[in-house]
Amino acid sequence: MLYIVITYLWLALLLYLLLGGADFGAGIIELFTTEPNRPQTRRISYHAIGPIWEANHMWLIIAIVILFVGFPTIYSTMSIHLHIPLLVMLLGIIARGTAFAFRNYDAVHDNMQKVYNRIFVYSSFITPLFLGIIAGSAVSGRIDTHADTFLSAYIFDWLNSFSVAIGLFTVSLCGFIAAIFLIGEAKGDDERHRFVRKARQMNIFAVISGSLVFVSAAVEHIPLADWVFGNAVGITAVSLASISLVILWLFIRNGRARTLRLLAGFQITMILLTVTWEHYPNIVILKGGNYLSLLHGGGDDKTITALAMALLIGSIFILPALVYLIYSFQKRGAAEH
């Protein structure tokens, strides 16, 4: 049962990165779009993320509940030492969701729409930035459970070049996958070409920020290269992600939207597999070389069994409803076009 819970935790993180990443990325694309093109980008983004913009956070909630119920030591350690970036991320989620609702459904359209738009795009950038910072902090070895000062206990755990570089890389991935999704929603050649350019820009941003991750890891003596290229799974995943990226760019102008989305989703999956495989089951690396393990830091057997059963039974109800939600929105969007 423990392995079922761990699998659901990994899948929840993957789905949040894929669907939530496309969601946040739509705001990132809008942030870096020129003012004359923003209304059109806003309209297309609405049709693209409309069916999932609120349901996305279900995956984050599932991951948090799994940690809270099944792995309380890991949950408490991260929520205490990383409470500042966690708070910023949660505030970004709230601000972004609120702005999205008001700018699309407000009964009165006035100058406040500009405020809602700014909140939406900036929170779309800040939220994945701090999501990546939290992920980087978990494996950076900077979390000091024996810290005796405020800075060492609550600031230096996450405020370092490696974690920030991971945050920027996460932003670039969200922007890239959103651009791929938006290509499929574009109806004219001009729109399609514009989102292809955005995808190219985000791809370049990903290469630059990814390089910064390796540079900062070397500066801070984090063996990232060994984690990624020191095992067969990591090498294979990176190779497959690179090959799929080449295929995507070969078909990006004339390829089918579903194929492009599957290729982009496959790349994100391979990236997550690469960064998690070497650390399994040690999900958090503490200062001094200690670890927090998924296999040895879980709750008692009865709790894990109940959690696994709840996840399995819940999937029977949640997944079909989510698929139907996406299908119904896509059908409505096609009818409107």
Any domain includes 220 = no
Any domain includes 250 = no
Over residues 297-320, the mean pLDDT reads 88
pLDDT tier, 270 (very low <50, low <70, confident <90, very high otherwise): very high
Structure tokens at 112: 């406040």
Instruction: Note the pLDDT of residue 50.
Output: 62
Cis bond before residue 36 (omega within 30° of 0): no
Lowest mean pLDDT among 49-63, 85-99, 313-327: 49-63
Instruction: Note the pLDDT of residue 267.
Output: 93
pLDDT tier, 187 (very low <50, low <70, confident <90, very high otherwise): confident
Instruction: Note the pLDDT of residue 269.
Output: 94
Instruction: For residue 84, give its domain range.
Output: 2-213+294-336
Distance CA(205)–CA(177), nearest Å, equals: 13
Residue type, 36: P
Per the structure, the count of domains in the chain is 1
With b meaning 16 or more CB within 10 Å and e meaning fewer, what string describes 279-291?
A: beebbbbbbeeee
Q: Is 76 in contact with 66 (CB distance < 8 Å)?
A: no
pTM of the model as a whole: 0.91
Instruction: Note the pLDDT of residue 255.
Output: 67
Any domain includes 322 = yes
Any domain includes 242 = no
Does the pLDDT value for residue 125 go beyond 70? yes
Tell me what the pLDDT averaged over the chain comes to. 88
Does the pLDDT value for residue 107 go beyond 80? no
| pLDDT digit string, tens, across residues 13-25 | 999 998 888 889 9
Does the pLDDT value for residue 74 go beyond 70? yes
3-class secondary structure per residue, the chain: CHHHHHHHHHHHHHHHHHHHHHHHHHHHHHHCCCHHHHHHHHHHHHHHHCCCCCCCHHHHHHHHHHHHHHCHHHHHHHHHHCHHHHHHHHHHHHHHHHHHHHHHHCCCCCCHHHHHHHHHHHHHHHHHHHHHHHHHHHHCCCECCCCCCHHHHHCCCCCCHHHHHHHHHHHHHHHHHHHHHHHHHCCCHHHHHHHHHHHHHHHHHHHHHHHHHHHHHHHCCCCHHHHHHCCHHHHHHHHHHHHHHHHHHHHCCCCCHHHHHHHHHHHHHHHHHHHHHCCCCEEEEECCCCEEECCCCCCCHHHHHHHHHHHHHHHHHHHHHHHHHHHHHHHHHHHHC
Any domain includes 182 = yes
Any domain includes 279 = no
| pLDDT digit string, tens, across residues 190-230 | 888 888 899 999 999 999 999 999 999 999 999 999 999 98
Does the pLDDT value for residue 280 go beyond 70? yes
Any domain includes 240 = no
Instruction: Note the pLDDT of residue 272.
Output: 92
Any domain includes 307 = yes
Number of Cβ within a 10 Å radius of residue 182: 28
Instruction: Note the pLDDT of residue 335.
Output: 52
